[in-house]
């Protein structure tokens, strides 16, 4: 029988799905932020009036407040494919590539698949894909919340589990879970994988990890907790049983899925476009140290938008590292995955969206759920988080840079 706390969580999710998009629409009916946005050095040019008028995937009026920035690429892949002439190109080594290549395939392909039954509503292709994207994102968010509830329940109790899941939905960048972005699907798959692993269900954990890897490349880090589980099983059994061998094979299979994709033509294009067009790298310490140094400097520059933005960047990094430090003993699998997610994000070059990337680190919400046992912290964090969530939701709906 479903517990009262679990029923409460599902009702909270239903309310969240209804309120957040409605709030974004209502807020822009009441006021509009002043343009341009100086959050980063390059955002001003892209947020002047009419800057996105030539981007067809960002201009369909249907659920337009849930579409901005990277949403363009997911909708383009879902409706046309990776090589879409309507999306800006990127020339690398005399190879003309669409910027779509910087994005993993599972989320847009699921949008494409779900768009077929949604054609019954007779919307435009872009509107249909937008609706599909939001449905997938919000269902993924439900999966992530339920997985967090499962992970937290044994150690934090029913109320602690409910708090952890609730904190995911109201996290400042939790608004991405209800937009045409990959975060919703990814947390559903990644957190679900870890929840299965915590219940010693390694096969479903590995399957979800493989799907997470095809949603965001960082999903390959889920191979590490599965490998750790295999090592612990080997130590406990003191011999190499079939089950232990299977566990090692499943950890390797997650890496193999990533490898097969990475060395395919699509994966090679991904790496080239990520570096050439988006300045994103894998474990590039030199560029990352330089980027974080400039970010620290820019946090004190004249533009208030830039100061505010980088405070969230550094705030996301701090909360992520504190969560890993304090939760390692209680949640080794979740902490290992979260730590790798944070390290990959920190060393990917120019700081851009750290507060969004920690949204995919489950240990953050387990840490907050633990701190939330203190009623004063629970109320204070809820007020702070929801206020920031509201601000970022409005900025995203207005096509300002959020992360």
Assigned token pair, 90: 């990127």
Q: What is the pLDDT of residue 111?
A: 98
Burial 128-152 (b: 16+ CB within 10 A, else e): bbbbbbbbbbbbbbbbbbbbbbbbb
- Picking from 318, 333, 403, the residue whose alpha carbon sits closest to that of residue 363 is 333
Q: What is the pLDDT of residue 94?
A: 76
Burial of 96 (0-12, 13-18, 19+ CB in 10 A): exposed
Burial of 246 (0-12, 13-18, 19+ CB in 10 A): middle
The answer to whether 348 and 282 have CB atoms below 8 angstroms apart is: yes
Cα–Cα distance between 338 and 74 in angstroms, integer? 25
Q: What is the pLDDT of residue 105?
A: 96
Whole-model pTM: value is 0.96
Q: What is the pLDDT of residue 159?
A: 96
Dihedral (CA of 58, 72, 390, 121) sign: positive
Helices (H) and strands (E) in the chain — how many of each? 16, 2
List CB contacts of 91: < 8 A, sequence separation 6 or more. Answer: 97
Q: What is the pLDDT of residue 58?
A: 96
Q: What is the pLDDT of residue 372?
A: 98
Provide DSSP, 367-399.
Answer: HHHHHTTSHHHHHHHHHHHHHHHHHHHHHHHTT
Q: What is the pLDDT of residue 23?
A: 98
Q: What is the pLDDT of residue 50?
A: 87
Among the residues of 214-284, which ranges form H helices? 223-237, 242-262, 265-278
Phi, psi of 261 (to 5 degrees): -70, -45
- Per-residue pLDDT of the chain (403 residues), as tens digits, is 778 999 999 999 999 999 999 999 999 999 989 999 999 989 999 999 988 888 999 999 999 999 999 999 999 999 999 999 999 888 777 778 899 999 999 999 999 999 999 999 999 999 999 999 999 999 999 999 999 999 999 999 999 999 999 999 999 999 999 999 999 999 999 999 999 999 999 999 999 999 999 999 999 999 999 999 999 999 988 888 899 999 999 999 999 999 999 999 888 999 889 888 888 888 888 889 998 998 899 888 778 999 999 999 999 999 999 999 999 999 999 999 999 999 999 999 888 899 999 999 999 999 999 999 999 999 999 999 999 999 999 999 999 999 9
Neighbouring C-alpha atoms within 13 Å toward the C-beta of 94: 0
The answer to whether 360 and 181 have CB atoms below 8 angstroms apart is: no
Q: What is the pLDDT of residue 33?
A: 92
Q: What is the pLDDT of residue 381?
A: 98
Q: What is the pLDDT of residue 209?
A: 98
Cα–Cα distance between 289 and 295 in angstroms, integer? 10
Task: Provide the 3-class DSSP secondary structure of residue 50.
Answer: coil
Cα–Cα distance between 137 and 146 in angstroms, integer? 14
Q: What is the pLDDT of residue 275?
A: 86
Query: What are the start-end ranges of the E strands in 83-223?
Result: 89-92, 95-98
Q: What is the pLDDT of residue 82?
A: 95
């Amino acid at each position: 029988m479903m517990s009262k706390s679990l029923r409460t969580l599902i009702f909270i999710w239903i309310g969240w799905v209804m309120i957040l998009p409605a709030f974004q629409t209502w807020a822009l009916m009441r006021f509009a932020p002043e343009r341009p946005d100086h959050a980063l050095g390059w955002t001003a040019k892209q947020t002047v009036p009419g800057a996105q008028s030539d981007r067809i995937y960002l201009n369909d009026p249907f659920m337009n407040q849930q579409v901005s920035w990277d949403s363009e690429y997911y909708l383009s892949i879902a409706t046309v494919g990776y090589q879409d002439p309507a999306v800006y190109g990127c020339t690398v080594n005399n190879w003309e590539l669409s910027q779509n290549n910087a994005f993993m395939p599972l989320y847009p392909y699921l949008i494409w698949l779900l768009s077929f039954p949604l054609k019954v509503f007779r919307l435009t292709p872009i509107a249909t894909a937008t609706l599909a994207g939001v449905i997938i994102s919000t269902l993924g968010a439900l999966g992530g919340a339920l997985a967090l509830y499962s992970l937290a329940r044994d150690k934090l109790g029913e109320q602690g589990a409910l708090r952890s899941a609730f904190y995911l939905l109201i996290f400042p960048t939790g608004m991405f879970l209800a937009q045409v972005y990959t975060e919703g699907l990814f947390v559903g798959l990644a957190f679900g994988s870890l929840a299965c692993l915590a219940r010693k269900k390694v096969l479903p954990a590995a399957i979800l990890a493989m799907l997470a890897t095809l949603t965001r490349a960082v999903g390959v880090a889920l191979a590490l907790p599965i490998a750790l589980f295999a090592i612990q099983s080997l130590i406990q059994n003191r011999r190499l049983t079939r089950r232990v061998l299977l566990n090692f094979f499943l950890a390797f299979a997650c890496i193999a899925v990533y490898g097969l994709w990475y060395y395919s033509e699509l994966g090679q294009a991904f790496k080239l476009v990520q570096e050439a067009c988006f300045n994103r790298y894998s474990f590039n310490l030199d560029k990352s140290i330089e980027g974080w140094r400039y970010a620290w400097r820019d946090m004190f520059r004249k533009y208030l938008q830039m100061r505010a933005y980088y405070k969230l960047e550094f705030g996301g990094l701090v909360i992520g590292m504190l969560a890993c430090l304090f939760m390692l003993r209680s949640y080794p699998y979740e902490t290992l995955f979260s730590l790798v997610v944070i390290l990959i994000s920190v060393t990917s070059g120019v700081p851009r969206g750290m507060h969004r990337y920690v949204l995919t680190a489950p240990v953050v919400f387990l840490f907050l759920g633990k701190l939330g046992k203190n009623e004063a912290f629970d109320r204070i964090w809820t007020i702070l988080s929801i206020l920031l969530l509201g601000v970022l939701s409005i900025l995203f709906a207005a096509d300002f840079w959020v992360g």
